[in-house]
Structure 1
Amino acid sequence: MSDFENVTFGGSGLDRAAELRGDADAMAQALSDDTSRSLVFWRGKPLTRLGDEAHLLRLPMDHEMLKRAIDAPVFLGREDTGFVFATDISSWEPAAQDMPEAVFLDQTEQHFPGLPQDHLFVELRTIMTRLSARDAELAAMAKSLFSWHAIHGFCAKCGAKSNVMQAGWQRVCGSCNAMHFPRTDPVVIMLITHGNKVLLGRSPYWPEGMYSLLAGFLEPGETPEAAVRREVYEEAGVRVGSVRYLGSQPWAFPSSLMLGFSGEALGTDITLEPVELEDAIWVSREEMMQIFEGTHPKMRRPRSGAIAHYILKNWLEDCLE
Structure 2
Amino acid sequence: MSLLKYCPQCAAALADLEIAGRRRRACPDRACGYVHWDNPLPVVAALIEYDGQVLLARNAAWPEDMFALITGFLERDETPEDGIRREIREETNLEVSGLTLLGVYEFMRKNELIIAYHARCEGEIVLSDELVDYRLIAPHRLRPWRAGTGHAVAEWMRQRGLPFDYVDSPRLPAAEG
Deviation of 1:195 after TM superposition, in Å, equals 4.5
- Which whole-Å CA distance do the structure 2 matches of 1:259 and 1:190 have between them? 9
Which of 1 and 2 has greater Rg?
1
Percent same amino acid among aligned pairs? Answer: 29
- Which whole-Å CA distance do the structure 2 matches of 1:219 and 1:152 have between them? 22
Report if the CA contact (8 A) 1:260-1:307 is conserved: no
CA distance 1:307–1:251, change in 2 (3 Å)? closer
Equivalences for residues 72-111 of structure 1 within 5 A: none
Name the one with the larger helix percent.
1
1:181 to 37, 57, 70: 37
Which structure is richer in relative contact order (CA contacts within 8 A, separation 6 or more)? Answer: 2
**CA deviation profile, 1:45-89 (whole Å, cap 9, x unmatched):** xxxxxxxxxxxxxxxxxxxxxxxxxxxxxxxxxxxxxxxxxxxxx
- Which whole-Å CA distance do the structure 1 matches of 2:151 and 2:106 have between them? 13
- Which whole-Å CA distance do the structure 2 matches of 1:316 and 1:242 have between them? 17
Moved over 6 A (4+): none
1:310 matches 2:162: no
Equivalences for residues 139-288 of structure 1 within 5 A: 146=1, 148=2, 151-163=3-15, 164-166=17-19, 167-169=22-24, 171-174=26-29, 176-265=32-121, 267-274=122-129, 276-285=130-139, 288=140
- The answer for unaligned runs of 5 or more in structure 2 is 163-177
When normalised by structure 2's length, the TM-score is 0.76
CA distance 1:169–1:241, change in 2 (3 Å)? farther
- Which whole-Å CA distance do the structure 2 matches of 1:162 and 1:217 have between them? 27
Please give the secondary structure, in 2, of the residue aligned with 1:306. coil
* Aligned residue pairs, count: 157
Deviation of 1:173 after TM superposition, in Å, equals 5.0
CA distance 1:254–1:310, change in 2 (3 Å)? closer
Deviation of 1:311 after TM superposition, in Å, equals 2.5
Name the one with the larger strand percent.
2
- The answer for unaligned runs of 5 or more in structure 1 is 1-145, 293-301
Please give the secondary structure, in 1, of the residue aligned with 2:88. helix
